[in-house]
Amino acid sequence: MRIASIDIGTNTVLMLVADIDKNGYFAVLKDEHIIGRLGKGVDEHGVIQQETFRRIENILSRFKQIAESTGTEYISACGTSALRDASNNREFIDYIKDNLSINIEILNGKKEAELTYLGAVSEHLKDSPSGNYAVLDIGGGSTELITGTGSGISSAISMDIGSVRLTERILKKSPPEDAAVLNAVEFINTHTLNLPPIEEETILIGVAGTLTTLAALDLRLNAFNEELINRHLLRDENIRHIFQELRYLTLDQIISYSQIHPSRADIILAGILILKEILSKLKAIQITVSTRGLRYGILLNTARQLLNM
- Asked if residue 276 belongs to a domain, the reply is yes
Average pLDDT, the chain: 91
**Are residues 284 and 142 both part of a single domain?**
yes
- CATH assignment at residue 163: 3.30.420.150
Q: Rounded to whole angstroms, how far apart are CA atoms 171 and 174?
A: 8
- Asked if residue 48 belongs to a domain, the reply is yes
Amino acid letter for position 212: T
**Are residues 101 and 133 both part of a single domain?**
no
**Are residues 262 and 144 both part of a single domain?**
yes
Q: How many structural domains are present in the chain?
A: 2
- Asked if residue 299 belongs to a domain, the reply is no
Q: Beta strands of 143-285 (E only): which ranges?
A: 143-149, 152-159, 203-207, 233-235
**Are residues 134 and 274 both part of a single domain?**
yes
- CATH assignment at residue 67: 3.30.420.40
- Asked if residue 190 belongs to a domain, the reply is yes
**Are residues 276 and 141 both part of a single domain?**
yes
State mean pLDDT over 99-104.
96
**Are residues 131 and 279 both part of a single domain?**
yes
Q: Which of 81, 109, 137 is the last residue of a domain?
A: 109
- Asked if residue 304 belongs to a domain, the reply is no
Predicted confidence (pLDDT) at residue 197 exceeds the cutoff of 80: no
149 against 127, higher pLDDT = 149
Structure confidence at residue 156 (pLDDT): 87
Structure confidence at residue 22 (pLDDT): 79
pLDDT digits (tens, 9 = 90+) for 251-308: 999 999 999 989 899 999 999 999 999 999 998 999 999 998 899 999 999 998 888 7
Q: Rounded to whole angstroms, how far apart are CA atoms 64 and 249?
A: 38
Question: Residue 175, preceding bond cis, omega within 30 degrees?
Answer: yes
Q: What is the pTM of this model?
A: 0.85
Up-side HSE of residue 133: CA atoms within 13 Å toward CB?
31
6 against 46, higher pLDDT = 6
Query: CB–CB of 276/239 below 8 Å?
Result: yes
Q: What domain range includes position 192?
A: 126-290
Predicted confidence (pLDDT) at residue 195 exceeds the cutoff of 90: no
Structure confidence at residue 148 (pLDDT): 92
Predicted confidence (pLDDT) at residue 199 exceeds the cutoff of 70: yes
**Are residues 105 and 136 both part of a single domain?**
no
State mean pLDDT over 133-149.
91
**Could you tell me the pLDDT band of residue 7, with boundaries at 50, 70 and 90?**
very high
**Could you tell me whether strands 2-8 and 74-79 are parallel, antiparallel, or unpaired per DSSP bridges?**
parallel
- Asked if residue 199 belongs to a domain, the reply is yes
State mean pLDDT over 207-234.
92
Structure confidence at residue 103 (pLDDT): 96
**Are residues 218 and 101 both part of a single domain?**
no
Structure confidence at residue 2 (pLDDT): 94
**Could you tell me the pLDDT band of residue 110, with boundaries at 50, 70 and 90?**
confident
- Asked if residue 121 belongs to a domain, the reply is no
Structure confidence at residue 258 (pLDDT): 92
- Asked if residue 309 belongs to a domain, the reply is no
**Are residues 38 and 162 both part of a single domain?**
no
Predicted confidence (pLDDT) at residue 131 exceeds the cutoff of 90: no
CA distances from 54 to 9, 58, 231, 238 (A): 16, 6, 35, 39
Per cent of the chain over pLDDT 70 is 100
**Are residues 22 and 159 both part of a single domain?**
no
**Are residues 69 and 175 both part of a single domain?**
no
**Are residues 85 and 145 both part of a single domain?**
no
**Nearest residue to 62 (alpha-carbon basis) of 33, 19, 103, 26:** 33
Structure confidence at residue 309 (pLDDT): 59
**Could you tell me the pLDDT band of residue 35, with boundaries at 50, 70 and 90?**
confident
Q: Which of 77, 109, 141 is the last residue of a domain?
A: 109
Q: Which of 109, 138, 163 is the last residue of a domain?
A: 109
State mean pLDDT over 147-154.
88
Q: Rounded to whole angstroms, how far apart are CA atoms 87 and 95?
A: 14
Predicted confidence (pLDDT) at residue 246 exceeds the cutoff of 80: yes
pLDDT digits (tens, 9 = 90+) for 295-308: 999 999 999 888 87
Q: Which of 80-89, 145-154, 249-258 has the highest mean pLDDT?
A: 249-258
Structure confidence at residue 72 (pLDDT): 95
State mean pLDDT over 227-248.
95
